[in-house]
Amino acid sequence: MNAICVTCGTQFADTAQYPDHCPICEDERQYVGLDGQRWTTFEDLRKDHRVKVQEEEPGLLSFSVEPHFGIGQRAFLIRNAAGNVLWDCISLLDDTVIETIRDLGGLSVICISHPHYHSAMVEWSRAFGNVPIHLHEDDAGWVMRPDDAIHFWDGEIKTLPGGLTLIRCGGHFEGAAVLHWPEGADGKGALLSGDTIQVVPDRRFVSFMYSYPAYIPLNAPAIERITRAVEPFAFDRIYGAFRKLTIESKGKASIRRSADRYLRAISAAVHASA
């Protein structure tokens, strides 16, 4: 049995019984649910949940679980002449989605921004022929279901076939990454940011946090590191982790503007407490 944590959606290695605890939820960047530690399985989840498929723009599909499950993030399929890429993952995969992706040419690789979105990445890999899963090596200790398909990359960037680039930003997790898609937004470029760079509900700004549920901010050096990491890349649009949280245009400027706002806020807090 490969148990899935109900609160964070992470799938665990095969065990005879449910695990005693979820290390990802017990970390201060997540939380144990209000009803305590609860578990389900991939098979049980398929009984009363489904995957919603949404076209975000030509060449880009998103997937999310309905009704809401776990953290509630969306995953993305980028259509690429060199092979389709799945960015981030969700806890469910159904026959309709498998058929949809196969009709589009299948998957060539899965890339994950950070451990909160590992979810059922091994299930997705196996459904499409054990395609490789790329995770940053700094987050290797957070893999709850080890598998031969998982490959750890190092350094600050990893170039993928077709011109896409994984960019290590750090911050939320040491290996937290974003994905640059140069063909997105009608060739102006798009950034798929997970919640390493979190699109906020007004969709004019982004934010950055060490822990979202515990409201723990990042410090100034971490913010500057994130903005420096994405500065060399051209992009107009930002796709955030959650449904409808997309900055349609001027996304790169919004990151700098948001970083400045964030730094002013934490600087004022420091001065006020001095």
Domains of the chain: 2-273 (3.60.15.10)
Cβ atoms of residues 77 and 85 within 8 Å? yes
Q: What is the pLDDT along the chain (274 residues), one digit of tens a residue?
A: 999 999 999 999 999 999 999 999 999 999 998 899 999 999 999 999 999 999 999 999 999 999 999 999 999 999 999 999 999 999 999 999 999 999 999 999 999 999 999 999 999 999 999 999 999 999 999 999 999 999 999 999 999 999 999 999 999 999 999 999 999 999 999 999 999 999 999 999 999 999 999 999 999 999 999 999 999 999 999 999 999 999 999 999 999 999 999 999 998 655 555 5
Tokens, residue 35: 């009803």
Closest CA to 69 of 45, 34, 89, 97: 45
